[in-house]
Amino acid sequence: MTTINENEKEIIEDFALFSDWEDKYEYIISLGKELPLISDQYKNEDHLVRGCQSRVWLHAEKKGENIVFTADSDAIITKGLIALLVKVFSDQPAKEVAKTDLAFIDTIGLREHLSPNRSNGLVSMIQKMKNYAVAFSAK
Amino acid sequence: MKNNVTDIRKDFPILSTQVNGKPLIYFDNGASAQKPQAVIDSITKYYSSMHANIHRGVHTLSQQATQAYEDAREAVKKYINAEHSEEIIITRGTTESINLVAHSFVKKGDEVIISGMEHHSNIVPWQLAEVNLKVVKVKDNGELDMEDFKSKLSKNTKLVAITHVSNTLGTINPVAEIIALAHALGVKVLLDGAQAVPHMKVDVQKLDCDFYAFSAHKMYGPTGIGILYGKKDLLNAMPPYQGGGDMIKHVTFEKTTYNDLPHKFEAGTPAISEGIALGAAVEYLNKIDWDWAAKHEEELLAYATEEIKKIEGVKVIGEAKHKAGVLSFVVEGAHHYDIGTLLDQMGIAIRTGHHCTEPLMHRFDISGTARASFAFYNTKEEVKIFIDALKRSLKMLR
Ligand SMILES: Cc1ncc(COP(=O)(O)O)c(C=O)c1O
């Protein structure tokens, strides 16, 4: 079982291989295409993280001490970024998820996707992942 | 007269910068236009040598600043051919201009006609005013359904508030006909000119509209300032919008009397440097050969439309016969957010999303569009690069 930090490191190493934006985005897009879809029953209003342009659906489940996320988006790049977040946070101890600040997005040069103006729901999604984690670790 | 795009581009410093390592191609003019050096310089000059509060000082700086600010009002008056300078109310922008009319011209329960292609800023102020809203339908090609308009218009209508040019579809609405029909029944008309002024010279007397609202930042001027043109007799009869300094004659705790037009509607210290810079923008636009600009933009739009339609799965949203500067489209199998993100990597700025026209998105049953919007400083070469970049993006996405 790898830790959140190890997961982040792995992604940073993967991205270090890309020399231009095109390779980077092609990789993100391919991640988006691979992301295991959220089961249809959760793709509803209750699980919707509202962004003004692309929409994100997020579901969290408890697995022992761990928290498991599944997610989807109608935009493929957003979906690829979600795949990264899921990779880092999913199946990790809820209390770790709750207290970890993600650094990798900045490091791999995707910070613009988290700027308040991106309206892709990612910022709210991270917040929501943490909210779930806080709730789960409190139980 | 300026009628050469290579020379005009030199007036706009930002156009020769790079974004993400590529020469900037700025196709988000509908959201806000770039500024010529003259506008930028006027702001620096104002703060370097003339700043003081206006309309209140006896000292030299205040008088100079007041003069420069009022000169700008005069420049706008001439530019849109208003009859009187007090008909030019300086506001924060189109949004505030419309809110002012919604606050002071109509009252709860009045009947107001808008259209299905309005920007949120020409929808929500009327909802806040609790008027009885009637919405004119939009046809499949993005034109206003004039039969529907005629059926909704009556002597009971207090105001028709319609956009001159649609920010999402590019449709130029038949405003002369709308105004003639409304006036025949004694109904007043407000035009949202936010998307018209960047593309054409507007003559409010020739149009005979009762109110005309627009923003400086979309017509190559500064942000945070705009205009409400209103016919003098209507403005005189309207109560003030906000209270404060500048808008009063005398204040006592028993009774306050209001200032005359235009100051009655201009409470508080205004955006002085922006006002003066708006004057500089108008001065710049006075040098533009508008016949050339209209033809140039029409060519850009026609070329872009023709080329984009050749791409498989692309659908143009808004194909009205008369259009200005806007190309909205959706692509099968590619989300507008993804398209915008990849184009940005290639230095191309477009807008994606619902463009503050959510009801219009519902009308076309889409969640948003990608929108390229042009200005007179854009070129055919830029359109070509944009089309190639779009093809490249779609290859990655689909
Ligand atoms: C048609 C239309 N009306 C109103 C507005 C609002 O303008 P502002 O935000 O400058 O007040 C816009 C700007 O996007 C617009 O396109």
Taking contacts as CB-CB distances below 8 angstroms, the residues of chain B near A19 are: none
Nearest-CA distance B342 → chain A (Å)? 8
Question: In chain A, which residue's Cα lies nearest the Cα of B393?
Answer: A22
List CB contacts of B185: < 8 A, sequence separation 6 or more.
B153, B154, B155, B157
pLDDT value of residue A119: 59
What is the mean pLDDT of the segment spanning B200-229?
98
The answer to whether B374 and B302 have CB atoms below 8 angstroms apart is no
Asked whether B167 lines ligand 1 (CB < 6 A), one says yes
pLDDT value of residue A116: 66
Could you tell me the distance, in angstroms and rounded to a whole number, from the CA of residue A126 to the centre of ligand 1? 32
Among protein residues, the one with the nearest Cα to ligand 1's atom 15 is B194
State yes or no: is B356 an active-site residue: yes
Distance of CA B49 to the CA centre of its chain: 31
pTM of the shown model: 0.94
Share of chain A above pLDDT 70, in %: 93
Nearest-CA distance B15 → chain A (Å)? 22
Could you tell me the distance, in angstroms and rounded to a whole number, from the CA of residue A68 to the centre of ligand 1? 43
Nearest-CA distance A3 → chain B (Å)? 31
Could you tell me the distance, in angstroms and rounded to a whole number, from the CA of residue B363 to the centre of ligand 1? 20
Largest CA distance in chain B: 71
Nearest-CA distance B123 → chain A (Å)? 18
Could you tell me the distance, in angstroms and rounded to a whole number, from the CA of residue A136 to the centre of ligand 1? 44
The distance in angstroms from the start CA to the end CA of chain A is 23
Report which DSSP code applies to A65: T
Asked whether B171 lines ligand 1 (CB < 6 A), one says no
What is the mean pLDDT of the segment spanning B357-380?
97
The answer to whether B331 and B342 have CB atoms below 8 angstroms apart is no
Q: Which among A52, A99, A106, A127 is annotated as catalytic?
A: A52
Inter-chain CB proximity B397 and A76 less than 8 Å: yes
Structure tokens at B259: 């200032």
Taking contacts as CB-CB distances below 8 angstroms, the residues of chain A near B337 are: 53-54, 75, 77-78, 120
Structure tokens at B90: 């300086």
Buried b (16+ CB within 10 A) or exposed e, A119-137: bbbbbbbbebbbebbeebb
pLDDT value of residue A39: 85
Asked whether B373 lines ligand 1 (CB < 6 A), one says no
Nearest-CA distance A93 → chain B (Å)? 32
Confidence band of A117 (pLDDT split at 50, 70, 90): low
pLDDT value of residue A139: 63
pLDDT value of residue B326: 97
Q: Rounded CA gap, B339 and B155, in Å?
A: 47
pLDDT single digits (tens) B126-177: 999 999 999 999 999 999 999 999 999 999 999 999 999 999 999 999 999 9
pLDDT single digits (tens) A23-68: 999 999 999 988 777 888 888 888 888 766 788 899 999 999 999 9
Count of Cβ atoms closer than 10 Å to residue B312 Cβ: 10
What is the mean pLDDT of the segment spanning B284-289?
98
Inter-chain CB proximity A25 and B367 less than 8 Å: no
Report which DSSP code applies to A46: G
Question: In chain B, which residue's Cα lies nearest the Cα of A120?
Answer: B337
Candidate from A22, A26, A120 with C-beta closest to B337: A120
What is the mean pLDDT of the segment spanning B220-245?
97
The answer to whether B357 and B327 have CB atoms below 8 angstroms apart is no
Candidate from B337, B367, B396 with C-beta closest to A29: B396
What is the mean pLDDT of the segment spanning B243-264?
92
What is the mean pLDDT of the segment spanning B244-260?
92
In chain B the domains, ranked by start, together with CATH numbers, are: 39-285 (3.40.640.10), 289-397 (3.90.1150.10)
pLDDT value of residue A52: 65
Q: Does A120 touch chain B (CB under 8 A)?
A: yes
Inter-chain CB proximity A78 and B337 less than 8 Å: yes
The answer to whether B320 and B169 have CB atoms below 8 angstroms apart is yes
Residue whose C-alpha is closest to residue B89's, from B209, B184, B275, B230? B230
Q: Which of A79-93, B128-142, B227-241 has the lowest mean pLDDT?
A: A79-93
The answer to whether B201 and B222 have CB atoms below 8 angstroms apart is no
Residue whose C-alpha is closest to residue B214's, from B286, B295, B278, B170? B278
Candidate from A21, A76, A119 with C-beta closest to B335: A76
Classify burial at A107, counting beta carbons within 10 Å of its beta carbon; exposed 0-12, middle 13-18, buried 19 or more: middle
In CATH terms, the fold of domain A4-138 is: Sufe protein. Chain: A (3.90.1010)
Taking contacts as CB-CB distances below 8 angstroms, the residues of chain A near B396 are: 22, 25-26, 29
Q: Rounded CA gap, B154 and B158, in Å?
A: 9
pLDDT value of residue A110: 81
What is the mean pLDDT of the segment spanning B44-67?
93
- Which of B331, B335, B346 has the most A C-beta neighbours within 10 Å, making it the best mutation to test the interface with A? B335
Candidate from B338, B345, B354 with C-beta closest to A75: B338
Structure tokens at B289: 């050969």
Structure tokens at A1: 């079982």
Q: Rounded CA gap, B91 and B213, in Å?
A: 9
Could you tell me the distance, in angstroms and rounded to a whole number, from the CA of residue B166 to the centre of ligand 1? 10
Taking contacts as CB-CB distances below 8 angstroms, the residues of chain B near A115 are: none
* Averaged confidence pLDDT in chain A: 87
Q: Which atom of ligand 1 is nearest to the CA of B217?
A: 10
What is the mean pLDDT of the segment spanning A104-115?
80
The 3-state DSSP class for residue A121 equals coil
Residue holding tokens 């209508």? B157
pLDDT single digits (tens) B68-101: 999 999 999 999 999 999 999 999 999 999 999 9
Domain map of chain A by residue range? 4-138
Taking contacts as CB-CB distances below 8 angstroms, the residues of chain B near A78 are: 335, 337-338
Q: Which of A34-38, B109-113, B311-315, B348-352 has the lowest mean pLDDT?
A: A34-38
Angle in degrees, CA B198, B202, B204, rounded to 5:
140
The answer to whether B209 and B190 have CB atoms below 8 angstroms apart is yes
Q: Which among B314, B356, B366, B385 is annotated as catalytic?
A: B356
The answer to whether B388 and B343 have CB atoms below 8 angstroms apart is no
Taking contacts as CB-CB distances below 8 angstroms, the residues of chain B near A75 are: 335, 337-338
* Averaged confidence pLDDT in chain B: 97
Interface of A with B in 82-101 (CB under 8 A): none
